Structure 1
Amino acid sequence: MIQSPHDRLPRQGLLLLAALSLCWGANWPIMKVVLSEVPPFYFRAVCLLLGGVGMLALAGAGGVPLRVPAGQWNRVFWLSVFNITGWNGLIVLGVSLLPSGRAALLGYTMPLWSTLLSIRFLGDRMTARSVIGLLLGLSGIVVLVGGSLDGLLQAPAGVVCMLLGAWSWAIGVVLFKKLPVAMPISALTGWTMLIGSLPLLALAVPLETSRLTMPSFWPLFGMLYNVFIAFIFCYWAWNRIMQMVPVAVSSLSSLSTPLIGVLGGVVFLGEPLGWREIVASLLIVGAVGSVSLKR
């Protein structure tokens, strides 16, 4: 099991978290744009496949060994299933089914599930900071989702997809700590993306090939953003953060991502900015600060 060297994010981790939150958060409205012209499974499968190949190519060019240690392929496989295939496949369906981009915030109930799972399977202990952060963060999510409750109830399949996606990600986070793979993070990230893309591609070919068309400029730009930013950079950064701190800290730190996603929807998609967004922003900033900052 990976022993985290810090109980709060060090300076390098905070910089990674800021970049990760901005880049992953901005991707929620970008996904909406891509899904307007690209079928969901093809969207995720192609971007993950190219992202995995690109990550491995960059790691290899930098002299990083790419070989998976003997006897650890099964660990890489299960990390790919839950962190990549399950999360990406389910959330892209949820985002396409739900009427509001804000519904994607259901996916960020992940910190609740991962914290509970880490207590049960990793023996982690809840600190006062973690409890406060969990309560603040989930309160912020509830405030944001509350404004879209009618829309959520009209698309229960989308709600189920998002919650199952959150569980898949939470299990993947715990497995990352429980079943460490003795290889560099860049190589591990590349292999999990590459392997995780294959089941999605296997679904896309028979189900979505008839719907494929050449996307216009902005959806194509969104796909390139996903390959190079949302996948190659962000997945590496996320795995690096998970190495640094316990599950509760890394999971709760991710709550800043949906906040950026909502603000991105306001700026780029013209979604309304009201009291819910402002209150939720304060709650989520408090949550991230309570588990990430030393002072």
Structure 2
Amino acid sequence: MSAFDAEPGLSAPAAAAPKRQKKQRSLSHTSGIVVLCLVTLLWGINWPITKIAVTEIPVWTFRAISLLVGGFGLLLLCVLRGASLRIARREIWPILLVTLFNVIAWQLCSAFGLFFLPSGRASILALTMPLWAALLSIPVLGEKLTVATTISLLLGLIALGAMVGPQFSEIMAHPIGIVLMLAAAISWALGTVLFKYYRWTSSTALLTGWQLVLGGLPVLIGALISDRSLDLRAVSSEAWLATAYTSTAAMIFCQWAWLRVVTMFPTAIAGLGIVAIPAVGVISGALLLGESVTGDVFISLSATMLALIVVFMKPKKQV
């Protein structure tokens, strides 16, 4: 069959156009999954690394450093690429609102929560975010839950429950940590949904950079007030290396990549992609901090992988 036989009445270029578009969508989908996997790995490792940093550096100072270094780093990359740093006037209030939930509330609540919970277990509670994001996206974005997404959300909850169950009494011994981590999760979810709600004309890198800088400024003020007696010379090289990792890999790459993924996939699916972060956090916490690892991790990983297979492979039927 020749190219002209592809479809009656269509020329060869016209017949090939849908194929090219389908191939481009497939490549975009694949690249999105790859980016999501990298975010999962790097953010999972960041939990015990953050624990290392905040044991020596106060939370306000640690977050101020990581947010501002990450934010200005992203803006510098935009400048080097020849992009303008100007944000459209109509996007100023939306970006301030998103920054409040997506950066300030999330970063502070999650960091303070690490004082009361092991890093791996803290990540479990914080990463209930996909559930809150999926629920919030229904009234805010008008998204519909598909059968596959619903099943995957349930599997994701099973994955989280498998890891929370064995340490339930330990977690309940520090309820403040639970409150902080759940507040972090809900804030992140709301910030993510709001970011998807607004129509942005600026690039993801520029928006991410400004969010980190705008979020870092009030945190810096808090650090200057609460940590005036801090002697940075007494901080170990290990804590500084942990801060450097958070400022670069977790802030510059992961923050940009996450918002990029949010624009590519429905909120529920994008959230499901990071359900594996707690498992990565627990395993890396065991390797870096000596935190205990039990069979619940492997149950959680199995449920997570099954959830991802279901959501990416099943046809979409609305429920």
| TM-score normalised over the length of structure 1 | 0.93
Offset from partner CA, 1:98-135 (integer Å, 9 cap, x none): 25541331011111111111111111111111011100
What secondary structure does 1:97 align onto? Answer: coil
1: CA distance, partners of 2:243 / 2:312: 31
State the percentage of identical aligned residues.
36
Question: Is the 2:48–2:119 contact (alpha carbons within 8 Å) kept by the matching residues of 1?
Answer: no
Supply the distance in 2 between the matched residues of 1:170 and 1:201 (Cα, whole angstroms). 24
Question: Does residue 1:274 correspond to 2:294, yes or no?
Answer: yes
2:97 alignment partner, one of 66, 71, 78: 78
Structure 1 residue 23 displacement after superposition: 0.6
SS in 1 for 2:306: helix
* C-alpha distance in 2 between matches for 1:172 and 1:292: 24
Provide Cα deviations, 1:33-67, integer angstroms capped at 9, x if missing partner: 11111111111111101110010001110112221
Gaps of 5+ in 1: none
Deviation for aligned residue 1:153: 1.4
Alignment CA distance shift 1:165-1:218 (3 Å): same
2:135 to 111, 116, 119: 116
Aligned amino acid, residue 206 of structure 1: I
Q: Deviations over 1:223-269 (max 9, x none)?
A: 11011100001111101100101111111111122221111112222
When residues 226 and 50 of structure 1 are mapped into structure 2, their CA distance, relative to the original with a 3 A threshold, is same
Once the two structures are superposed, the pairs formed by residues 236-247 of structure 1 within 5 Å of their partners are 236-247=256-267
Q: Structure 1 CA distance, aligned partners of 2:203 and 2:118? A: 40
Task: Provide the rounded CA distance (Å) in 1 between the counterparts of 2:313 and 2:104.
Answer: 32
**Pairing 1:48–2:61 present:** no
Partner of 2:153: 134
Contact (CA 8 Å) 1:52, 1:193: kept in 2 or not?
yes
Q: Alpha-carbon deviation of 1:290?
A: 2.3
Change (3 A) 1:212 1:130: farther
Corresponding position: 1:286 with 2:316:
no
1:234 aligns with 2:260: no
- Inter-partner Cα distance in structure 1 for 2:139 and 2:216: 30
Amino acid at match of 2:154: L
Going from structure 1 to structure 2, the CA distance change for 1:44 and 1:280 (only over 3 Å counts) comes to same
Structure 1 vs Structure 2 CA RMSD: 2.0
Change (3 A) 1:286 1:217: same
Alpha-carbon distance in 1 for matches of 2:293, 2:28: 30
Amino acid across the alignment from 2:32: G
Alignment check: 8 A CA contact 2:109 2:181 kept: yes
Structure 2 runs not aligned, ≥5 long: 1-23
Q: Output aligned runs, 1:3-14, within 5 Å.
A: 10-14=29-33
- Residue 201 of structure 1 aligns with which residue? 220
Deviation at 1:17, TM superposition (A): 1.0
Amino acid at match of 1:253: G
Residue identity opposite 2:199 in structure 1: P
CA contact 2:71–2:211 (8 Å) conserved in 1 = yes
| Matched residue SS, 1:96 | coil
Q: Structure 1 CA distance, aligned partners of 2:88 and 2:44?
A: 34
Name segments (4+ residues, structure 1) moved above 4 Å: 5-9
Aligned to 1:187: 206
How many angstroms apart in 2 are the aligned matches of 1:189 and 1:292? 27
> Does the CA contact (< 8 Å) of 1:9 and 1:293 recur in 2?
no
- Structure showing greater radius of gyration is 2
Q: Does 1:151 align with 2:170?
A: yes
**CA distance in 2 between partners of 1:14 and 1:43 (Å):** 31
Q: Give 2:85's match in structure 1, choosing from 53, 63, 66.
A: 66
* Contact in 2 for aligned 1:8/1:245 (Cα 8 Å): no
1:213 matched to 2:238 = no
The correspondence for 2:275, drawn from 247, 255, 270, is 255
Amino acid at match of 1:280: S
Alignment match, 1:106: 125
Displacement of 1:168: 0.3
Q: Distance in 1 between matches of 2:110 and 2:308?
A: 23
Residue 127 of structure 2 contacts residue 185 of structure 2 at CA under 8 Å; is this kept in 1? yes
Q: Indicate conservation of the 8 Å contact 1:72/1:181, yes or no.
A: yes
The alpha carbon displacement at 1:8 in A equals 12
Matched, 1:35 2:58: no
Give the letter aligned to residue 71 of structure 2: G
